[in-house]
Structure 1
Amino acid sequence: MSNALSLPVNLSLGSIEEYVGAVNLMPRFDAEEERALARRFREEDDLDAARQLVLANLRFVVHVARGYMGYGLPLPDLIQEGNIGLMKAVKRYDPDVGVRLVSFAVHWIRAEIHEFIIQNWRIVKVATTKAQRKLFFNLRKFKNRLGWFSQDEARAVADELGVDVSSVYEMESRLSNQDMAFDAHAEDDGDEREVAPAQYLQQVNADPAEVLAEREWESREQERLSAAIEELDERSRDILASRWLAEEKLTLHDLAARYNVSAERIRQLENSAMKKLRKTLAAPA
């Protein structure tokens, strides 16, 4: 539905004040008019009716979005995400349930704004689980002083939100951290300097030359092993292959039955073949 609607008020044009002024001039509908428009859209797929419902409630999206300005994200972006939630609500709204559209839409508006904040507040997402999201959007109102929560305060927050105390401490720590560029250079002036992660984090096997050298060594060793196995007699090769290389490995007794010898003899042949391989591989390449 969102692709089919063309809103006359555009967040990308003019100032936010002009946008707010435009949406406040949109006509409002009483409960009966709202139900009639909703039925036209629901029963007749009338997109113009859906468009009127969206336009009439854009002012409410602005009101909700203003409540999330403390997260440092642009208000126009918050409003735009809230508008998406409003359009989703209009699409799912049932006029026969007996509630006004704005009461039904508030969940969808907040859900879209919440997701936008989670995705964009920091480079690394600070909340992924349901409990973490609940803490992220509620923790600030509990912090009535500067500094960290005491044990009693953390326990009170956990009880009110229905989460673990450990989750409260973890989210408090995440909210207190700041993003840092991976390869940022420390400033020479000042006593306090933050070291960028690139200076102390090293990826294993990150050097292409080392990776290539290791692959070449493994390839040579594999060729030497194959050549050493080929130097063994046929029975020894079969014993080693059956005991170590086959997907379904055979036991000493299985091979003893195959060659009509004792299991102890198979073990001796296996040990002898392994010694020959070690000797060949230990020799200079």
Structure 2
Amino acid sequence: MSQSLALRDPWSMVPSLGNLDAYISAVNRLPLLSADEEQEFASRLREHGDLQAASRLVMSHLRLVVSISRQYLGYGLPQGDLIQEGNVGLMKAVKRFDPSQGVRLVSYAMHWIKAEIHEYILKNWRMVKVATTKAQRKLFFNLRSLKHGMKEDAPDDQSHRNSMSVAELDRVAQQLQVRREDVLEMETRLAGGDVALEAQTDDDGESFAPIAYLSDESSEPTRVLESRSRDMLATEGLKTALAALDERSRRIVEERWLKVNDDASGGMTLHELAAEYGVSAERIRQIEVAAMKKMRKALAQA
């Protein structure tokens, strides 16, 4: 029997998030699961609904949530709240994790953890949402990161500037592959104020900032795993998924989701495709939904 199984009540080892330092210290002392233990617990949960196995999987990855939460301290929101939301994402990941896919839970869970934290930030960072579409949300997080990088690189006599120059707007637009107008619009929204400045400790009001802006995350384990997984899905995974479709379904998916014209607009609309194939727009939408389901199934089996 493993060490983690020998713990009668492992949750008793973890204090509440009210004492953040004690919580972080406690979760960092929790034992990690080996690959075999993880497979065993995940199989017991998936096949028998074993809640004790689910508990072991969640607890062994609480430190992952703490690590990811540090990447978002610069938004001025309490780290305890970020961790709490990340833990919700972790539990969702554990519930949906399929051990037969041959991947470790850590690489699967970090997407769910970040998704929950992103939702929390977007709902609470401003009274008025600054990002409403998927593309705007991606621009929201990437733009903040790039802006802080440019501040660090700027000369001392220019580091106080809050607004971006035309050259900086063009540089960001090129890096994020969006229009300069989109960057300018998001920059205007971000400059609107109403940022929560609550300190994360009792020391001073700026205690949260440096760790978010100065840490080198290029070799951080979750970032490396996420990058590898994203690269695989964007190349071989996408090719495999598209190959599972018939010609019409594949073209509809490509036109609706994968095609970008020179003016940064997307491919054909539902009505344009409907006119071409001689069916209703609703029928094109149904074909698109069915194709997406088939692609997800192909990706899961890849």
TM-score (norm: length of structure 1): 0.58
Which residue of structure 1 aligns with residue 130 of structure 2? 126
Separation in 1 of the partners of 2:11 and 2:92?
Answer: 15
2:26 is aligned with 1:11? no
Q: Please give the alpha-carbon distance, in whole angstroms, between the structure 2 residues aligned to 1:17 and 1:179.
A: 28
Give the letter for the 1:105 counterpart: A
Query: What is the aligned partner in structure 2 of residue 156 from structure 1?
Result: 171
Measure the CA separation in 2 of the matches of 1:59 and 1:31: 17
For residues 55-74 of structure 1, what are the structure 2 equivalents within 5 Å?
55-74=59-78
Residues 196-211 of structure 1: pairs in structure 2 closer than 5 A: none
Matched, 1:113 2:113: no
Distance of 2:94 and 2:177 partners within structure 1: 32
Q: Which has the higher contact order (CA 8 A, sep 6+)?
A: 2
Query: Runs of 5+ in structure 2 lacking a partner?
Result: 1-9, 152-160, 196-302
Show structure 1 runs of 4+ deviating over 4 A: none
Q: Which residue is 1:135 aligned to?
A: 139
Matched, 1:169 2:184: yes
CA offset at residue 161 of structure 1?
A: 2.0
1:154 counterpart letter in structure 2: L
The residue aligned with 1:188 is: none
Q: Match of 2:88?
A: 84
Distance 2:17 2:50 in 1: 27
Aligned AA (2:164): F
Q: Quick one: distance in 2 between partners of 1:26 and 1:179?
A: 38
Q: Percent identity?
A: 56
Give 1 or 2 for the bigger CA radius of gyration. Answer: 1
Give the whole-Å Cα distance in 1 for the aligned partners of 2:42 and 2:111: 18
| CA shift in 2, pair 1:60/1:178, >3 Å | same
Give the whole-Å Cα distance in 1 for the aligned partners of 2:128 and 2:193.
10
In structure 2, C-alpha distance between the alignment counterparts of 1:59 and 1:168, rounded to whole Å: 35
The CA deviation at 1:151 is 2.9
Q: TM (normalized to structure 2)?
A: 0.55
Cα separation, 1, equivalents of 2:130 and 2:15: 31
Residues 1-285 of structure 1 correspond to what in structure 2 (within 5 A)?
7-8=11-12, 9-13=14-18, 15-143=19-147, 144-145=150-151, 146-179=161-194
Moved more, 92-101 or 69-78: 92-101
Query: Do the aligned partners of 1:134 and 1:161 also contact (CA within 8 Å) in 2?
Result: no
| RMSD, matched Cα | 2.0
CA shift for structure 1 position 103: 0.6
Contact 2:15–2:26 under 8 Å retained in 1: no
- Call closer, same or farther: CA 1:30–1:154 in 2, change over 3 Å: same
Output the amino acid matched with 1:157. V
SS in structure 1 opposite 2:182? Answer: helix
**Residue 11 of structure 1 contacts residue 80 of structure 1 at CA under 8 Å; is this kept in 2?**
no
Paired AA for residue 74 in structure 1 = P
How big is the shift at 1:10?
A: 4.7
Across the two proteins, how many residue pairs are aligned to each other? Answer: 175
Which whole-Å CA distance do the structure 1 matches of 2:127 and 2:101 have between them?
Answer: 41
